Amino acid sequence: MEFAAAVEAFAEHLEKVRRLSTATVRAYRSDLRDLAGTVRDLPLEDIGLETLRDWLWQATQRGDARSTLARRAAAARSFFSWVQEQGFIAHDPSLRLVAPKRGRTLPVVASQDAMSTLLETQRQAASGGEPGALRDHAILELLYGAGIRVSELCGLDIDDVDLDRGTARVLGKGSKERVVPFGAPARDAVGAYLTRGRPALAARAERPAPALFLGNRGGRIGPRAVYTLVAEVLAPFVGAETVGPHALRHTAATHLLDGGADLRAVQEILGHASLGTTQIYTHVSAERLTATYRLAHPRA
């Protein structure tokens, strides 16, 4: 089998058998297509460890981040492991392929005071009843109040939200479904949007959509529009040039732990497969505590 054909077959396996997210499959496909530029016309069985090392070295020369190198190495290992399982090659050349360890960076997190100010500003903007403002306020309250991913938010249908119970049923990574709670401010914002905002947006569409959040043309809102919204309103509060919806997820998790929430409960809310992924937020809380101590204690 040719390399390009094997990549497409592998991507199909990731999507249909392993049921990975569209974004993950797209990232694997992109990395392996980049590898295709290095292997060129080499048959699969002729690709060796040195070829793979040369591929990573070229990425290093381009200035790719260590996280990118680690991701590409992981993509290659997963691909060649699958290719060997399928019997296309006798030996896996990626077994000894290593990449620099990812540098651990703490996520961008807004303070509780900053979030209070931001959301109050959005509430006041929505009080005029403009459909887009009502929607934007509800989106921000739900991203922060439930700690959900932007893909999960955009995938919500009206029936997925129970305002009486204050819960949302979301479809996470690997098509895993979970129910997440949210508080009174998010419930009020979503309720106001459903009553006064969504009907006006839905009237702009050619055909009705079941989506909870609608774009300006009446169709299901997309991640790019949500990213633009969050970047515009959140960046001034966190002092970062590039910030997106995931920063609100980071912020929600950190504030939960700051308030005394159990780590495993936070893991369930966020939908993390591994507790280790959730533990990064304990480091954020510790960093914030240390910074406060150094500013306030006379013997710091």
Matching residue, tokens 């620099």:
100
Among the listed residues 72, 137, 255, 272, the single catalytic one is: 272
Q: Are strands 161-162 and 167-171 parallel, antiparallel or unpaired?
A: antiparallel
Query: Would you call 272 a catalytic residue per the annotation?
Result: yes
Query: Would you call 101 a catalytic residue per the annotation?
Result: no
Query: Would you call 299 a catalytic residue per the annotation?
Result: no
Query: Would you call 297 a catalytic residue per the annotation?
Result: no
Among the listed residues 26, 178, 220, 246, the single catalytic one is: 246
Among the listed residues 28, 144, 193, 281, the single catalytic one is: 281
- CA 33: distance to chain centroid? 23
Among the listed residues 123, 169, 173, 220, the single catalytic one is: 173
Among the listed residues 77, 135, 198, 249, the single catalytic one is: 249
Query: Would you call 246 a catalytic residue per the annotation?
Result: yes
Q: Are strands 177-181 and 167-171 parallel, antiparallel or unpaired?
A: antiparallel
276, 264 Cβ separation under 8 angstroms: no
Among the listed residues 149, 187, 250, 255, the single catalytic one is: 149
Query: Would you call 13 a catalytic residue per the annotation?
Result: no
Catalytic residue numbers?
149, 173, 246, 249, 272, 281
